[in-house]
Structure 1
Amino acid sequence: MDMNRLTQKSQEALQEAQTAAGRMGHTEVDGEHLLLALLDQEDGLIPRLLQQAGTEPKELRAAVREELSHRPKATGPGAAPGQVFVTQRLARLLDAAEREAKRLKDEYVSVEHLLLALAEESSSTAAGLLLKQAGITRDSFLSALTQVRGNQRVTSANPEVAYEALEKYGRDLVLEARSGRLDPVIGRDAEIRRVTQILSRKTKNNPVLIGDPGVGKTAIVEGLAQRIVRGDVPRACATRRCSPSTWAPWSPAPSTAGSSRNASRPCSARSRPPRGGSCSSSTNSTPS
């Protein structure tokens, strides 16, 4: 495959896989080393996607380390410390990841494509078997990927910035409702039903809640999140996420203007679900 098509995180994962193989005394870097490297990116996309799919990354990481610990190590006077070779299987995995990227109409091979290629191996390899035992299949991982990245495509070498914008600058109200952290919403049934109706449209499906601070705009969205958890919404809204963010109109200082614009672009892009509309709330307040 063309290595220039790898995203920054994919390149880092391959480099870390090679480093890990050398550190363990292995002469070859294989798919299990790559899986371990992906799991070791604790602030990266893969651990978050695995959690979204219902798998605990730390437990899977421990299982991969256990598997690698049983592999033979290069010892003796002829062993070259740190010298490792890429297996044919790993080369095939990279080709498979490139095909996954093309299938998803992505311009770069990102970490999710690498994980999809590993999951596609299923029980035929140790990495595929460990993923399967952890409940990760190609379909379940694709479902989690759709929830996180929506309808976005990988068009840059650093796509994770866009994926994680709402997680960084907003809150997942559906997750909070599921864990019981939201208070009950009283007296807003009509507004919540209206928002649900608009979101269920095929066109013109972007409700906007406008009002002064404190009038209860966020409460309406919280009520919607609670209904999603209860299953009390139309099918079109059943898989949506509610992530309010506080991007009120303001003029940042010159020193922070660039970073603010970079943050707001992916945040606004991600707020639209894969199919259908988004629900936004805004205030008239101005941050200090």
Structure 2
Amino acid sequence: EGGQLSEKVRQNPYSVILFDEVEKAHPDVFNILLQVLDDGHITDSQGRRVSFKNTIIIMTSNAGAQNIVEPKHLGFTSATDEKEDYKRMRDGVMDEVKRIFKPEFINRIDEIIVFHSLSKDNIKEIVSIMLRTIAKRIKAQMNIDMETGKEAVNHLAEVGFDPKFGARPLRRAIQTNIEDKMAEEILAGNIKEGDSVSIEYLDNEMVIKAKQLNPLQA
């Protein structure tokens, strides 16, 4: 049989291929990537030529991540300050990229994109997206309408964000503060099918209130 990569591409020639944290890849993987990026094809263990001409290859890397989490300007910043921060951060990241990856590899990449660090507004939007997903799920499963207040969203954004890990801790924060508490209330019979639930952050505590379904409306 062919290798995992070549076999997948042979069966699905129009593909998007993602190499996550590519800096951790084995040297053999880089050798294969060099061939793909240079020639547009590889030959598998069965001697079959597998074309990558219809694939898009995306590689992510944490190279230079420290430059992204380093403190920026304190207080209010102008658009010029933000541009300078980004340029300084990007230059630091690219220096690290050039240190980790060989020139012949970097030169075969069409474009390198350095993302901006997440802002507070970005984090709040991610929280809102996650909460909407939960609300849709609980609506479909138990016909429960769930609404989350602004202060609750702000609190989740605060406790669920880590400069080193970005938005990844948000999922755990939402599970602990929202999903687990909702499950406890449902098991206790305080929230029933068809109820409307509001979630607020009051007096340093996440408060879940359920508006019971009117029996006459059932």
TM-score, normalisation: structure 2: 0.27
Q: Which has the higher strand share?
A: 2
Task: Name which structure has the greater RCO, CA cutoff 8 Å, separation 6+.
Answer: 1
TM-score, normalisation: structure 1: 0.22
